A and B are shown apart, each in its own frame.
Chain A
Amino acid sequence: MNDSVSKSVYPVTRDEGAASEIVLAIIVDNEPGVLARVVGLISARGYNIESLTVAETDVEKHTSRITIVTGGTPAKIDQIKAQLGRLVPVRRVIDVTREADALERELALIKVVNSGEHRLESMRLADIFRARALDTTHRSFVFEITGTREKINAFIDLMKPLGLSEISRTGVLSIRRGVESD
Chain B
Amino acid sequence: MTAKVAEKPKTAAKGAARAVSKSGAELLLDALEEQGVEVIFGYPGGAVLPIYDALFKRDSIHHIMVRHEQGAVHAAEGYARSTGKVGVVLVTSGPGATNAVTGLADALLDSIPIVCITGQVARALIGTDAFQECDTVGITRSCTKYNYLVPSAHNLSGIVHEAFHIARNGRPGPVVIDIPKDVQFEEALYTARAEARNRNCIVTPPINQNQIEQAVDLMRQARRPVLYTGGGVINAGRAASDALRTLARETGFPVTSTLMGLGAFPASDPHWLGMLGMHGSLEANSAMHDCDLMIAIGARFDDRITGRLDAFSPGSRKIHIDIDPSSINKNVRVDLGIVGHAGVVMEAMIAEWRTRAAREPYDKPRVDAWRSQIDRWRSRKSFSYQNCDKRIKPQYAIERLYALTRGRDVYVTTEVGQHQMWAAQHFHFDEPNRWMTSGGLGTMGYGLPAALGVQAAHPDALVIDIAGDASVQMTMQEMSTALQYELPIKIFILNNAYLGMVRQWQELLHGGRYSHSYSDSLPDFVKLADAYGGVGIRAETPSELDAKIMEMIDVKRPVLFDCVVTQEENVFPMIPSGAAHNEMLFGGHHVTGDEVSADGKALV
The answer to whether A and B interact is: yes
A36 near B141 (CB under 8 angstroms)?
yes
Q: State whether A78 and B577 are in contact (beta carbons under 8 Å apart), knowing that A6-B599, A10-B603, A14-B309 are contacts in the complex.
A: no
Dominant SS at the A interface? loop
Does B384 belong to the interface (CB within 8 Å)?
no
Q: Complex Cα distance A86/B600, Å?
A: 32
A86 near B310 (CB under 8 angstroms)?
no
Does B324 belong to the interface (CB within 8 Å)?
yes
Q: Chain B residues near A120 (CB, 8 Å)?
A: none
A86 near B326 (CB under 8 angstroms)?
yes
Over the window 19-40 of chain A, the binary record of Cβ atoms lying under 8 Å from chain B Cβ atoms (1 yes, 0 no) is 0000000000000110011001
Does A55 belong to the interface (CB within 8 Å)?
no
Please report the total number of A residues contacting B with Cβ < 8 Å. Answer: 25
A10 near B604 (CB under 8 angstroms)?
yes
Does A44 belong to the interface (CB within 8 Å)?
yes
A9 near B146 (CB under 8 angstroms)?
no
A79 near B303 (CB under 8 angstroms)?
no
Q: State whether A11 and B308 are in contact (beta carbons under 8 Å apart), knowing that A1-B597, A36-B141 are contacts in the complex.
A: yes
Does A88 belong to the interface (CB within 8 Å)?
yes
Q: Complex Cα distance A99/B147, Å?
A: 31
Max count, chain A CB within 10 A of own CB: residue among B307, B575, B578, B596:
B578
Over the window 327-349 of chain B, the binary record of Cβ atoms lying under 8 Å from chain A Cβ atoms (1 yes, 0 no) is 01110000000000000000000
Partner of B325, one of A12, A36, A82, A88: A82
**Residue on A with the closest CB to B327?**
A82
Q: State whether A88 and B146 are in contact (beta carbons under 8 Å apart), knowing that A7-B599, A8-B603 are contacts in the complex.
A: yes
Partner of B166, one of A1, A8, A88: A88
Q: Chain A residues near B145 (CB, 8 Å)?
A: 88
A8 near B137 (CB under 8 angstroms)?
no
Tell me, rounded to whole Å, the shortest Cβ–Cβ distance linking B19 to chain A: 27
Tell me, rounded to whole Å, the shortest Cβ–Cβ distance linking B373 to chain A: 25
Q: Chain A residues near B600 (CB, 8 Å)?
A: 7-9
Tell me, rounded to whole Å, the shortest Cβ–Cβ distance linking B428 to chain A: 27
Q: Complex Cα distance A91/B201, Å?
A: 8
Q: State whether A83 and B138 are in contact (beta carbons under 8 Å apart), knowing that A8-B603, A10-B604 are contacts in the complex.
A: no
**Residue on A with the closest CB to B308?**
A9
A82 near B326 (CB under 8 angstroms)?
yes
Does A163 belong to the interface (CB within 8 Å)?
no
**Residue on B with the closest CB to A86?**
B326
Q: Chain B residues near A1 (CB, 8 Å)?
A: 578, 597
Q: Chain A residues near B194 (CB, 8 Å)?
A: none
A6 near B308 (CB under 8 angstroms)?
yes
Q: Complex Cα distance A85/B325, Å?
A: 9
Q: Chain A residues near B142 (CB, 8 Å)?
A: 40, 44
Q: State whether A10 and B326 are in contact (beta carbons under 8 Å apart), knowing that A32-B149, A36-B141 are contacts in the complex.
A: no
Does A5 belong to the interface (CB within 8 Å)?
yes
Which A residues, 100 to 136, have Cβ-Cβ distances below 8 Å to chain B? none
Q: Chain B residues near A5 (CB, 8 Å)?
A: 310
B597 near A7 (CB under 8 angstroms)?
yes
A-B contact pairs, 25 of them (CB 8 A): A6-B308, A6-B599, A7-B577, A7-B599, A7-B600, A8-B578, A8-B597, A8-B600, A9-B303, A9-B575, A9-B578, A14-B309, A32-B149, A32-B151, A33-B137, A33-B147, A33-B149, A36-B138, A75-B329, A78-B329, A79-B326, A86-B324, A86-B325, A88-B145, A91-B200
| A interface with B by C-beta (< 8 Å) | 1, 5-12, 14, 32-33, 36-37, 40, 44, 75, 78-79, 82-83, 85-86, 88, 91
In the complex, besides A7-B597, A36-B138, A88-B201, 13 extra interface pairs with C-beta distance below 8 angstroms are: A7-B578, A7-B600, A8-B578, A8-B603, A9-B577, A10-B604, A33-B149, A37-B141, A75-B329, A78-B329, A79-B330, A86-B326, A88-B199
Q: Which 9 pairs across A and B sit closest by C-beta, in order of nearness?
A: A82-B326, A7-B597, A7-B578, A8-B599, A88-B146, A88-B201, A10-B603, A9-B577, A10-B303
